[in-house]
């Protein structure tokens, strides 16, 4: 069995710097909205240069997307399997409770790359994977239904969040389940 080649000091620094930048943004967003955070502030908090920031990310919204996808990787990965949809979405909502300060400060952004769009794309990726597990391509009518449903889930989740997370997790999933398009319902049983 081949062992991976050792990483150079530069490769190790670049991998570490990416993690440091993600940690810095997450920490800053515990205190203020994303739109008030500056790239220079993120780089400074991470102890790296702005040049290093731009080596990894196109802007702070790209970094926010990476942080969000990393935070919610487990439930999104499970949503892309044959695991019961309700359980997967409840796992996602439970993480929303845990990360509510980050989410609140990300949702306030009015940028075109807002958290709503990021969440929609992440859900769409997970739902597409779920359909492909069944051997079905996620294009045409199926793709349209998945896109419609993922936008609806992102919108419902944001509304639930904006309203103070008042519904119980299972209650919200029950409401979301009622909105599953008929064309893809069998993949979410």
CA dihedral 29, 33, 37, 42 (to 10 degrees): 10
Q: Where on the phi/psi map is residue 103: left (φ > 0), alpha (ψ -120 to 50), or beta?
A: alpha
For the stretch 87-96, pLDDT in tens is 999 999 999 9
What value does the mean pLDDT take over residues 170-186? Answer: 94
User: Does residue 80 share a domain with residue 17?
Assistant: no
User: Does residue 120 share a domain with residue 82?
Assistant: yes
For the stretch 141-158, pLDDT in tens is 999 999 999 999 999 999
User: Does residue 77 share a domain with residue 26?
Assistant: no
User: Does residue 87 share a domain with residue 178?
Assistant: yes
What value does the mean pLDDT take over residues 116-139? Answer: 95
Residues in CB range of 70: below 8 A, 6 or more apart? 22
Domain assignment present for residue 32? The answer is yes
pLDDT class for 185, splitting at 50, 70, 90?
very high
How many residues are recorded in the chain?
A: 189
Domain assignment present for residue 4? The answer is no
Domain assignment present for residue 150? The answer is yes
Hey, how many other C-beta atoms are within 10 angstroms of the C-beta on 174? Answer: 12
pLDDT at res. 2: 61
Q: What is the CATH number of the domain that holds 21?
A: 1.10.10.60
pLDDT at res. 118: 95
Output the six-digit token pair for 171: 């209650």
Indicate the number of domains in the chain: 2
User: Does residue 125 share a domain with residue 36?
Assistant: no
Average pLDDT along the chain: 92
Domain assignment present for residue 182? The answer is yes
User: Does residue 86 share a domain with residue 49?
Assistant: no
pLDDT at res. 155: 93
User: Does residue 93 share a domain with residue 163?
Assistant: yes
Domain assignment present for residue 45? The answer is yes
Q: Where are the beta strands (DSSP E) in 62-177?
A: none
What value does the mean pLDDT take over residues 6-17? Answer: 70
pLDDT at res. 7: 64
pLDDT at res. 144: 96
pTM here?
A: 0.88
Q: Find the domain containing 45 and state its range.
A: 9-58
Output the six-digit token pair for 91: 């796992």
pLDDT at res. 111: 84
């Amino acid at each position: 069995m081949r062992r991976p080649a050792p990483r150079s000091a530069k490769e190790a620094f670049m991998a570490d710097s990416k993690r440091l930048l993600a940690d810095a943004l997450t920490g800053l967003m515990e205190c203020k909205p994303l739109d008030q955070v500056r790239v220079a502030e993120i780089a400074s908090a991470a102890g790296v240069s702005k040049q290093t920031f731009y080596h990894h990310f196109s802007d702070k919204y790209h970094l926010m997307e990476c942080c969000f996808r990393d935070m919610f990787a487990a439930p999104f990965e499970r949503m892309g399997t044959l695991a019961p949809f309700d359980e997967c979405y409840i796992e996602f909502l439970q993480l929303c409770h845990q990360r509510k300060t980050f989410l609140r400060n990300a949702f306030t952004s009015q940028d075109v790359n807002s958290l709503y769009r990021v969440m929609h794309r992440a859900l769409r990726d997970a739902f597409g994977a779920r359909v492909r597990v069944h051997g079905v391509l996620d294009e045409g009518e199926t793709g349209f239904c998945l896109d419609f449903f993922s936008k609806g889930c992102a919108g419902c989740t944001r509304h639930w969040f904006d309203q103070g997370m008042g519904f119980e997790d299972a209650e919200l999933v029950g409401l979301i389940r009622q909105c599953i398009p008929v064309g893809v319902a069998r993949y979410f049983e």
